[in-house]
Structure 1
Amino acid sequence: MIKFIRPAFLLVTAVFAQPSFVQSSFQKDSTFIKKIFDEALTNGKPYEWLRILSTDIGGRLSGSEGAAKAVSYTEKVMKEENFDRVFLQPVKVPHWVRGKAETAFIFVNDKKISVPIAALGGSVATPVEGIQAEVIEVQNFLELRALGKEKVAGKIVFFNRPMDPTKLNTFDAYAGAVDQRGNGATEAAKLGAVGAIVRSMTTRLDDFPHTGGMRYGVGVPLIPTAAISTNGAELLSKSLRENPKTQFYFQQNCETLPMADSHNVIGEMKGGTHASEIIVVGGHLDSWDLGQGAHDDGSGCVQAIEALRLLKKLGYTPKRTLRAVMFMNEENGLRGGITYADSASAKKEMHLAAIESDRGGFTPLGFGIVGTAEQKTRLISWQPLFSPYGLHELGKGGGGADIGPLGQQGAVLLGLIPDSQRYFDYHHAASDTFEAISKRELEMGAASMAAMIYLIDTYGF
């Protein structure tokens, strides 16, 4: 009987089949990576940093007071850790505010039933008195367009396509549903709708509306748009089946203010023999305003700082310059990532690699890689060094939104891949709080990134 042998085992065998100097190198790397994980799991600091960022500062939407406090706090943390250089990089960011909490009702059999909604980021407000109209439920844009203007004009369009629960990777499920949130208002407005309501982007049935960014197309009316909780969506859909003339009311008070001044926060360990080459590790400092932004993406920010702290604590002297970057404005504009890349291009900086953590602080499983076939092969060859820590997924997947522009400048992009099953329970919702974070999982992710930085810095590409 032929037995299946795991690729990781084959790679380990291949490593130890090499000459003695390669075996020695493997042992040296394995020993140092264990020290990284031991330090992270016994003396790790990201959990306490995240507690302050989440509970003392809270929501950090671009342009807000919370975002400004987060800039000051993470700058302070990296200075206290004695990074070689800590500096702020100015960024102009959008400034959208929610205003007074939203109100929504379904009118069922002469009864008014309250349901939870949240304005989508970038949406306009309703009139002060709100909007009340009949509802048209659709699953996708093709179905909406088939109805035509005659059936849609003057109504509220309700986009109710759920994330596909059969997708084992919940990010794939998210990608298959999020077009409703991003472009639903534009598609509805083209046909004369007076408003749009979108089912929250989560696989969970609960009473938390999940906000997120939306955008308006050129030349179409700007109609107010909100996310409705999944329980609310189920109730609205049931009401429409029983009475197609069901009416919906909602009122929201959001507005877009002038662009605001903000910053990326950057901490640096200076390199030695290859100091002109830069390795970046980062997350985005901004978050939506409904929760505390613990998983999205406070966890990624503190993991990035911790990754450098771990190397510094262990006395590691990098060959290349290492940077922890707290990017501002990922959620509704990507201005931080674009500004960082533009600055790098203007200064002719050479970024060898960039690592991003923006999928929550859950158990790390591996890294997605964007690079050449040769670069991927080099990274995947390190699988045996990661396998003891449960990181078996190297290769499949992407980098991240904020580091994406660096890829256009030749940097290899890596995205930390944690277990995704619970991420969208919290994503963009009031439930994204510090209480949802596991200390150990958070520390494991930071150690994983530190180990990857060490290997890239040691061996390059």
Structure 2
Amino acid sequence: MKKSTLILLLSVLMISCSQKQEKLVNTKLLTIEEKIDSTNLKKLFNSALTEGKSYEWLRDLTQNIGSRLSGSSGAAKSVIWGEKLMKEIGLDSVWLQPVMVPHWVRGEKEIANYTTKSTKKNVPICALGFSVATPKNGITAEVIEVKSIEEAKALGSKMKGKIVFFNRPFDDTLINTFRAYGGCVDQRVNGAKVCGEFGAKAVIVRSMTNSIDDYPHTGTMSYGDLPKEKQIPTAAISSRAANILSVDLKQNPELKFYFKQSCETLPDAPSFNVVGEIKGSENPENIVVVGGHLDSWDLGEGAHDDGTGIVQSLEVAYLFKKNNIKPKNTLRVTFFMNEENGTRGAKKYAELAKLNKENHIGGLESDAGGHTPRGFSIDANTVNTKLLQSWKKLLSPYGLHDLDKGGSGADISPLKGENVTLVGYRPDSQRYFDYHHTSTDTFDKVNKRELELGSASMASIIYLMDKYLYSNEPVKP
């Protein structure tokens, strides 16, 4: 072997050994870092499960304030409650963001019934948000049942003077009940807009739930650009009542349905987002926001929707402080106002963030109830999506197996951008639509341990996002 060949071979071997040694060192460093992260995540869970505050905060919010529909006295009280609580746990700064919000009121309890075979049947019913009232003495008319917006449009003038009954149920084959909700909710939102155009007298809609019960589910609806004279009363009926009415209509297509509601929309009212933060220790100009919506529908106590999201978001900051974890970036907690019927708070927050040239690098929203944690949905560029999915081995010991592409949440989505990583907290969805927008969404439906596990889950992903997300340079997919 020539001397030059021998030298070249030795050089190649040395480089190869050096690369292997560097790889081993990097692997060792990564392992050490993972151990640090694993230890800190364990501390967050231990603290939440033994010293957590979220459950008692939720008790206070739901039992002493209750429902918090935008523009109501409950909403106003919740703003004061939220500001006080943020100051009590020692956030570096707390302030209110003024925002004008819609003010719709339900009025007297709704009444509905019909008679078949000489038997009067009372129907559990509730007005949908933004609906107009019926005449003072109510409405009586024949009913036409449809399964979709398209089927209603096909009726055209045949629906004139009739009550149109939208009766498309959840698809029970869908494991994720939010997908089932998404497959039905258009009839609630747009039913009156379509039917009012053709002269229908009113619209009633099957409640948005996969359970069969006697509790009607409210929610927002829209008339779009319909002129006032074509806007018709719209209400939800319970799922069990929908099934019974459907059977009775087949036996007696000419039965007359009666209902009465006295809701109205008042002038916009002043309100606030509640905002607090822990200043970042290294990059205070970068912001990671975590939040939920402070408002709720007026029928229950707003426990799962979204009291749980509010207290879990605040507990993220509480757990950081409890464990002396100092975020590198500014950690901001926001209680958004008016998610349920307008998202005015979310729009105002994003507007002010842009106006003030704030640099949001990430956000997390909790608005899917307080049930057992399952994971997170990710709305981010390809690089950061893969980054978050690489944390699965750290999160899976706590049951957080789902780290999939998807939406984040109505309140943080206006912050969306190429280099902003938005995340939605995703607990188990099977029971959520039992309570969603109903009178049964009350404190007693929330399990303390599930709520605390959710707080720790949220704190864990915020910890990792704060540590590993950067946006000083554009990230290319």
Deviation per CA, 1:411-436: give whole Å up to 9, x if none. Answer: 21100011000100000001100010
AA partner of residue 326 (structure 1) = F
In 2: Cα distance, 1:89 partner to 1:232 partner:
42
Deviation per CA, 1:94-147: give whole Å up to 9, x if none. Answer: 000000100000221233211110000000000000000000000012222222
Question: Is 2:460 aligned against 1:447?
Answer: no
Return 246-255 or 219-228, whichever deviates more.
Answer: 219-228
Check whether the contact 1:264–1:326 (CA below 8 A) recurs between aligned residues. Answer: yes
Check whether the contact 1:135–1:246 (CA below 8 A) recurs between aligned residues. Answer: yes
Contiguous gaps of at least 5 residues in structure 1: 1-14
- The one of 89, 106, 110 aligned to 2:114: 106
Check whether the contact 1:16–1:22 (CA below 8 A) recurs between aligned residues. Answer: no
SS at match of 2:145: strand
Residue 423 of structure 2 corresponds to which residue in structure 1?
414
In 1: Cα distance, 2:192 partner to 2:417 partner:
31
Paired-residue identity, %: 57
- The one of 79, 86, 95 aligned to 1:78: 86
In 2: Cα distance, 1:261 partner to 1:118 partner:
26
AA partner of residue 335 (structure 1) = R
Question: Is 2:163 aligned against 1:175?
Answer: no
In 2: Cα distance, 1:16 partner to 1:215 partner:
60
- The one of 218, 223, 228 aligned to 1:216: 223
Residue 98 of structure 2 corresponds to which residue in structure 1?
90
In 1: Cα distance, 2:411 partner to 2:145 partner:
35
Deviation per CA, 1:331-369: give whole Å up to 9, x if none. Answer: 000000000000000000000100000000011111100
SS at match of 1:233: helix
Residue 373 of structure 1 corresponds to which residue in structure 2?
382
Question: Is 2:362 aligned against 1:353?
Answer: yes
Measured on the aligned residues, the alpha-carbon RMSD in Å equals 1.3
Question: Is 2:302 aligned against 1:296?
Answer: no
Residue 65 of structure 1 corresponds to which residue in structure 2?
73
After TM superposition, list the pairs within 5 Å mapping 1:2-151 onto structure 2: 19-149=27-157, 151=158
In 2: Cα distance, 1:234 partner to 1:395 partner:
35
- Residues 432 and 206 (structure 1), Cα distance of their counterparts in 2 relative to 1, 3 Å cut: same
Residue 238 of structure 2 corresponds to which residue in structure 1?
229
Return 400-409 or 81-90, whichever deviates more.
Answer: 400-409
AA partner of residue 212 (structure 2) = L
In 2: Cα distance, 1:116 partner to 1:266 partner:
39
Residue 340 of structure 1 corresponds to which residue in structure 2?
349
- The one of 260, 278, 285 aligned to 1:251: 260
- The alpha-carbon deviation at position 396 of structure 1 amounts to 3.0
SS at match of 1:24: helix
Check whether the contact 2:217–2:437 (CA below 8 A) recurs between aligned residues. Answer: yes
Residue 214 of structure 2 corresponds to which residue in structure 1?
207
Deviation per CA, 1:160-181: give whole Å up to 9, x if none. Answer: 0001111111000000000000
In 2: Cα distance, 1:17 partner to 1:242 partner:
77
AA partner of residue 115 (structure 1) = V
In 1: Cα distance, 2:95 partner to 2:24 partner:
44
SS at match of 2:456: helix
Question: Is 2:334 aligned against 1:325?
Answer: yes
- The alpha-carbon deviation at position 397 of structure 1 amounts to 2.3
SS at match of 1:253: coil
In 1: Cα distance, 2:241 partner to 2:226 partner:
31
Deviation per CA, 1:163-202: give whole Å up to 9, x if none. Answer: 1111111000000000000000011112210000000000
- The alpha-carbon deviation at position 410 of structure 1 amounts to 4.2
Check whether the contact 1:16–1:23 (CA below 8 A) recurs between aligned residues. Answer: no
Question: Is 2:193 aligned against 1:186?
Answer: yes
Residue 11 of structure 2 corresponds to which residue in structure 1?
none
In 2: Cα distance, 1:409 partner to 1:121 partner:
34
TM-score (norm 2): 0.92
AA partner of residue 176 (structure 1) = G
Question: Is 2:453 aligned against 1:432?
Answer: no
Question: Is 2:296 aligned against 1:287?
Answer: yes
- Residues 407 and 113 (structure 1), Cα distance of their counterparts in 2 relative to 1, 3 Å cut: same
In 2: Cα distance, 1:38 partner to 1:422 partner:
26
In 2: Cα distance, 1:212 partner to 1:415 partner:
21
In 2: Cα distance, 1:18 partner to 1:182 partner:
54
- The alpha-carbon deviation at position 16 of structure 1 amounts to 9.8
SS at match of 2:459: helix
Q: Report how many aligned residue pairs link the two structures.
A: 446
Check whether the contact 2:161–2:199 (CA below 8 A) recurs between aligned residues. Answer: yes
Return 118-127 or 219-228, whichever deviates more.
Answer: 219-228
